[in-house]
Amino acid sequence: MRLRFAALVASAGVLLAACGGGSAAEDPNAPLTIGVSPTPHGEILEFVDENLAEQAGIDIEIEKFDDYNRPNEAVANGELDANYFQHVPYLEEYRKERGGEFAWVEPVHLEPLAVYSKQAKSLEELPAGATVTLSNDPANQFRGLKLLEQGGLVKLKPEAAVGTRLDAAIAENPKNLQLKDLSPDQLPRSIDDAAAAVVNGNYAIKAKLSDPLLVESPQSNPYANGLVTSPSLAKDPRVLKLAELLRSPQVTDFINQKWGGVAVVPAS
């Protein structure tokens, strides 16, 4: 395995270490260069690279990103051969806002969204007027609103959808919750000040959050994270083999053993 760390400071948008170029489209014998979020995507892909890839006849180079925008930009520009960090609703919203040609390959795992709090032990204990933070990226923000609705904290308007403004999406807010959107990486820290936060699974793992008040159901969930590549590599045997490995029983067992079937679960 060749592992490169392309660290991105999300708040500043500064690339600290430029990523290398994907070359698989030009050379059928070249390794696949894959961009990932460090946790859990990077850990899952490292497991594949260290335990399954060589026997399957593929070579992988892994580049890690802390930013949600750069991996898609790098695939669109040919700097990466594929990425593994996002779900379909996020990819669709990115493509609508920023453009680029992408091919969804396969879902791999789900990181259930969850509500965390240091001030309350249940949703019922959240006081009137409490501040609740959630993601500022449109796809995960709407997903967070749906989770709050699932918990009975708000009721959404029938026409609410990805991209609808917070103040325009809510039909009923019986506790008059003050909803504040933040970048996903800031959400775990916001729990120190806000009454509750709706946190993406990868950031909850990184911050070692536990005992959520409410967890998103994995059943029929459209937010499974998966492998994305360029249209030119969508049918490449190396990409298809990598997708097969990522969905293999060995990877399913690794995910279940490492995260206990809670913070990260295999895609169905």
The string over 119-136, giving b where at least 16 C-beta atoms fall within 10 Å of a residue's C-beta and e elsewhere, is ebeebeebeeebebbbbe
**Who contacts 188 (Cβ-Cβ below 8 Å, separation ≥6)?**
116, 197, 199, 203, 204, 206, 207, 209
Q: Distance between CA atoms of 108 and 82, rounded to whole angstroms? A: 14
158-193 pLDDT, tens digit each: 999 999 999 899 999 999 999 999 999 999 999 999
In sequence order, what are the beta bridge partners of 107? Answer: 226
According to CATH, the topology of domain 2-112+221-266 is D-Maltodextrin-Binding Protein; domain 2 (3.40.190)
120-136 pLDDT, tens digit each: 999 999 999 999 999 99
pLDDT score for 22: 67
Helices 88-98 and 138-150: crossing angle, nearest 10°?
140
Q: Do domains 2-112+221-266 and 114-215 have the same CATH topology?
A: yes
Global pTM reads 0.79
Q: Distance between CA atoms of 223 and 100, rounded to whole angstroms? A: 21
| CATH number of the structural domain 114-215 | 3.40.190.10
Q: Report which residue type is found at 166.
A: L
Query: The tokens of 55 are what?
Result: 């026997």
